[in-house]
Every structure is written in structure tokens, then in C-alpha cells.
Chains A and B, each alone.
Chain A
Amino acid sequence: MAEEERKIIPSIIKENILELLKEEKRIDGRKLFEFRKLRIIPGPIEKAEGSALVLLGNTKVLVGVKMSLGKPFPDTPNEGVLVVNAEFQPVASPYWELGPNEYAIELARVVDRAIRSSGMVALDELVIHPGELCWVINVDIYPIDDNGNLIDTALIGAVAALLTTRVPEIDFSSGKPQLKREEGKPLPIRDIPISCTFAKIGEQMVLDPNKQEECLMSARLTIAVNSANEICTIQKMKGGGFTIDDIIRAKDITIQKAKDLRREIQKQVAEKARGEEIWKEIREVLTS
């Protein structure tokens, strides 16, 4: 069971959060519609064709992309295959258990829809023999520290990992296709989806809820947009509701935030360190 369902939070913190929200303030000092600090470390996993470690505040997610050869789906013979999967390993939270987790499935599906509907990956360029042979892109999301808002962190992680992904060369000389992973060209990218997740707490709405805020929220709303500011994914969850005004406001804020966040992701992915330097950075970030 997910922690927010159990709503275990000391009443003194709960009252504090609610009191502050009345004055449009938050317990961690942020404004209502402000993200926590974003840090992306691109390319830490050498054996993955693409990877990224993302920290949104203290929420940490590791994403790896594996490229392999497979068969296109019968209804899309001219497209490669994209599979997004999330594994909720209990390293990330004392409330997670081993085995299938419905929240992991929800997370993976929301991230999948944002990537797919925005047309981020040019799947039509990833067919080798139509109907027979194509690239299969496996995006695997591993949260390692759950301090709230896994959805936005995971989408940033998936986007960053895909931006670092290289498509290996294929060697057909021995009959059976062999992948030459040391060579390759960047994955064809057409867009970058950005999501914003809002929590409704009392009468207020906040962006990028931390864990304490998640425990108090009555409802959650995620909106993703592409670079043309078209809405490309929506997910509303939990027992409470939003007014139409809330939703329109959330949409406006998402559009307003998306441009800067997209630029920030591109900037941090471009600052890729090499080999041992990447891990030096990771050790530093994780112990600071």
C-alpha cells in the first residue's frame, strides 16, 4: 500500500502545513507553484544505451534505456516499439514491498502516455524491415528515494535518459543481426513532454508536492504538454475533486512552467561528464 493512503503524519506538521497554506506559504519555504531544485546526472549506466539519475529536491529516480531488436506490433508494422516500465524496489520507501505494485503500473502508464502522445521518439524511423524487424526501446524507471511527486521526477528521468540514448549499429554480416553498442547514433527525438503535478490540500492547490503534502492531499492532478503547448496527458487521482477553475489554472501554470523546465533539462543533459567523473558527481550529490 502506498504511504499517502495511510496518511501517517504528525498532527503538528499537518496543522502547520494547513495554517501556512492559508497564507499561500509552504512548509519547505516554496511558493505554491514552485518546483523543488532539479539536478540531472546524465549517462551513469555504461551498459544501458541511455540513462539518467534525477533528483527533484530529495526525490531520486534512476532511469535506464535498453535498445534491442524485435518485431513491430501487427497494427503498427512501420513503427518501432516503446515500452515504459517502473519497478518499485523497497530501497525507495519503507512502505513499499517486493512484488507488483499498482502505483508502479500507474506511474509507468502516465509516463508512457506523455512520451507517446507528445510524439517524443520518432518511432517511424526505428523500423528496419516493416512488419518484421524493428527497434524495441525499453525504458525502465527505478525510484530510489520517494520524497514525493514521483510522476514528474520519473518523466524528467525518462526524457533525460532518452535524450542520452544511442541507437547501436547493426552488423548483419554473420546472418544473425549483431548489435555494435560502442558505435551508434542518437535516438531520433521530435519533442520533449513536460508534466506538472498538482496536489489539492484543503482549498489550496500546490505544484510538485513533497511527501508530507502528498499525505495530506485530497486529490492529485498531472498535466503534460508538448513543445507546442498542446496538452498531451492528463491524470487525475484520489478520492477528492478539483473545480473546473482549478483545472484551468493548473493547465495555465503547466504551460507557463514547461518552457523553462524543458530548457533546463536540455541544458543539464548536455553537460554530460565522462566515465569516472559521472560517479564522482553521484557520490557527492548523494552524500551532501
Chain B
Amino acid sequence: MKKGEVQLLDEQKRRHDGRAPNETRPISMKVGVLDRADGSALVEFGKTKVLAAVYGPREVHPRHLALPDRALLRVSYRMATFSTWERKRPTPSRREIELSMVIASALEPALFLEKYPKCAIDVFCLVIEADGGTRTTAINAASLALADAGIPMRGLVVAIAVGRVGDTIIVDLDEVEDNYAESDMPIAMLFPQEEITLLQMDGTMSPHLFEQALETARQVLRNVYSLQVKALKERALKARTKVVL
């Protein structure tokens, strides 16, 4: 089967899993899930589940990588071998290496790297289960883990994928839609500034639909942003209760 040959929308514009075009999958965000990491988060978009851990600002190893005027931001995006139907080889693929880079660029505008010369901030994202939208889920998890690590930020980085089925814009594509929709466009935005920090696309989209897709993404991302804020508040409240007791 090729792109566009699988029916992804029915006559009532319901998607194959019953969602409306602009509806996300059930989203869960939990902050502070790991003990050893400085900051951590588990973020789920439906069956896509990503664990992120953050360390830093800390000394750079090996030392020669340290930058004299700002912190080094290192991001790794890796998929667990059992996160896909076919076992993924543990050696990093070209895809994982590229995504690690684009995720780093998506997070960087949120950080004050110039305040921590010669240090490193390390972000590790582990995809536990992959069902479409793993890079955007990883960005949401990384943003929360950075905040949980107590690293000062200009804002939170919020991400979602939008795509096109015919003339309809759909939001938060799962694996089936990822494979068969006519286009797939992951977007990350820094909030509350609403500045785009990641934008990629494959497939095709008309200029008019592209504008519509950006606007749809902005609306959905405002919602996801409030979920991130809520998850961080939940974590802070829990920490406070522990201290009081």
C-alpha cells in the first residue's frame, strides 16, 4: 500500500481510531519519575511512550569538548529495541542521530546556555514504545525533564505533529497515519513566546493548507503547553507535601 491509498478518514471525518481531525490521543505527563537523574519525565501520547532524563549543568567529559563561552547541550534520542514490531538493532541508526540533532536545536532556544560556560547539559530520551510521534513526545518529555532539573528556562518547549489527509489537517498522527497520510509535519514551539523551534515535513502540502496546518498546530500546542504546566505544578506540590510531612 502506498501513501493516500489507505482510507484514514470516513465520511464523517472520523479517523481510524475514532478521533476528530484536530483531536490528540490521550496525553499523560509525569515529572520526577527517576531517582538518579537530576530531572526526569515520562510522557505518553496514546501508545507512544518516552522517558527523558536530564543531567547538568555539569563538567564536560571529555574536557576538550567544553565551549569557552557557553554550555554544551548534548541530546540523545534512542529507541528501545522492543519499541517497534520488528526488533530495532541497538546501534544508533542514521534516523536516531538526526533526530538527536533536531531535538537539540528545538530545545536550545529555551535555555540560557551562555550562563554556563565550559559546562554540559545532557538530555537523554529513551523511546519505550513507538506508535508515531516519537520525536514530538521526546521533546515534550525533555522540556519537562529540563524544568524538573531546575535548569532556568525562557519557557517550555511543546511539540506535536500535524499532517494532511486529502484536504483535511489532522493532529497528532499515530503510526498508521504516519505511514499512510499524504504529509507529516512535526512542530515544536517555545511557550509562552510561541516561537517555532522545530519544523520538519515529509510528503506534500499546498501553501494554503500549510498555513492552516501551522494555525491548527498553534491551537493544539497551547493546550499541550497547559498540560506541561499542570504536570510541573503536580510535581512541585508533591515535593512540598513531602517536605511538610
Interface set of A (CB-CB < 8 Å, partner B): 44-48, 51, 58, 60, 62, 64-66, 68, 85, 87, 89-94, 97-98, 138, 140, 142, 144-147, 181, 279, 282-283, 286-287
Contacts and interface: CB of A to CB of B under 8 A. Distances in A.
B36 A89 contact: no
B35 interface: yes
B53 A283 contact: no
A97 to B, nearest CB: 8
Contacts of A93: 36
A286 B128 CA distance: 15
Contacts of B85: 47, 181
A1 B52 CA distance: 22
* Most B-side CB within 10 Å, residue of A90, A94, A98, A287: A90
Given A66-B87, A68-B87, A94 B80 contact: no
Contact of A47 (B34, B44, B126, B129): B129
B33 A64 contact: no
B18 interface: no
Contacts of B44: 279
Given A144-B126, A283-B42, A286-B30, A62 B36 contact: no
B34 A145 contact: yes
Contacts of A45: 80, 82-83, 128-129
Given A45-B80, A66-B87, A94-B37, 11 more contacts: A62-B80, A89-B124, A89-B126, A91-B51, A91-B53, A93-B36, A138-B87, A140-B87, A142-B80, A286-B30, A286-B42
B81 A146 contact: no
Contacts of A283: 28, 30, 42
A127 to B, nearest CB: 20
B238 A89 contact: no
Interface of B: 28, 30, 32-38, 40, 42, 44, 47, 49, 51-53, 55, 58, 61, 76, 78, 80-87, 90, 122, 124, 126, 128-130, 238
B83 A47 contact: yes
* Most A-side CB within 10 Å, residue of B36, B80, B126: B36
Given A91-B34, A138-B87, A66 B82 contact: yes
B47 A91 contact: no
Given A58-B35, A91-B40, A286-B42, A64 B82 contact: yes
Nearest to A68: B87
A266 B202 CA distance: 47
* Most B-side CB within 10 Å, residue of A51, A87, A91, A94: A91
A89 B96 CA distance: 14
A127 B126 CA distance: 34
Given A287-B33, A287-B238, A47 B130 contact: yes
A94 B34 contact: no
Contacts of A140: 80-82, 87, 90
Contacts of B129: 45-47
B221 to A, nearest CB: 23
B72 to A, nearest CB: 14
B90 A85 contact: yes
A138 B87 CA distance: 8
A71 B90 CA distance: 20
A142 to B, nearest CB: 6
Contacts of A64: 80-83
A90 B34 CA distance: 12
A224 B230 CA distance: 46
Nearest to A63: B82
B13 to A, nearest CB: 26
Nearest to B38: A94
Nearest to A50: B82
